[in-house]
Amino acid sequence: MSFTYDEIRQQAAMAAGEIVEAAKLKAGDILVVGASSSEVKGEHIGKASDINAAEAIYEGIMSIIEPKGIYLAAQCCEHLNRAVIVEKEALLPGTEIVNVVPQPKAGGSFATTMYKNARCPVAVEEIKADAGIDIGDTLIGMQLKKVAVPVRISVKSIGAAHVVCARTRPKFIGGSRAVYDEKLSGGDIPR
C-alpha cells in the first residue's frame, strides 16, 4: 500500500482539524504530535525514516493550527528520550531547555522537520500539552497534561500509520458534593 505525500498532508490536516475542534483548542494552547514517518510508509517504527513524509505531516498540521495561534510540539523518538521540539515562546517562564538538534535517525524526521521550520526552536525534556496526535504508536501520553481523554476522530490512519488522539481536562477534585464547571471538562462531568 502506497500513499502520496499530498494524501499524507491531507490526512494530517483533517486529523488536526478534528482534534482542534474536539479539544476546543485556542490561541496559545499546545498540540503535541508524535509521528513515525516509517510507520506512515508501512515500515516498522525507526527503520525507514522519510523526511518528505514528515514534511507532509508537518505542513498538513500547521495549515490548521498556525492560523489559530496554536503551538506545535514535536515529540522526538526514543533515541532522544522522547524530548520535545517546540517554539521557545510557547514555554512557561522557567522551563528548562536542553541542548540537542534532532536528526532523522536520532530524534526522527518529524522532530527534525519541526526544528528546521520553527522560528525559534528549542528542545525540552517534557511539556504539558493540551491535546495530542499520535501517528504510528509513538507514545505521546507522557507529554500531555493530566487528565488525558481519548478522542475518536474519523481519521484512523495517516498513510499506513495508526492514529490516536487525546485532549486534556483539569482534574476533578472534591468528591460527591463538589460542583464542576462543564466548560472546563469538555462536558464529561462525573455523575
pLDDT digits (tens, 9 = 90+) for 106-129: 999 999 999 999 999 999 999 999
pLDDT digits (tens, 9 = 90+) for 56-99: 999 999 999 999 999 999 999 988 999 999 999 999 999 999 99
Residue with cell 484512523: 156
On the question of pLDDT at 104 being above 80, the answer is yes
How far apart are alpha carbons 30 and 5 in whole angstroms?
25
On the question of pLDDT at 191 being above 70, the answer is no
What CATH code would you report for 5-185?
A: 3.40.50.10360
Partners of 135 in the β-ladder: 35, 163
DSSP letter for 122, please: E
How far apart are alpha carbons 60 and 80 in whole angstroms?
25
Contact criterion met (CB below 8 Å) for 155 and 163: yes
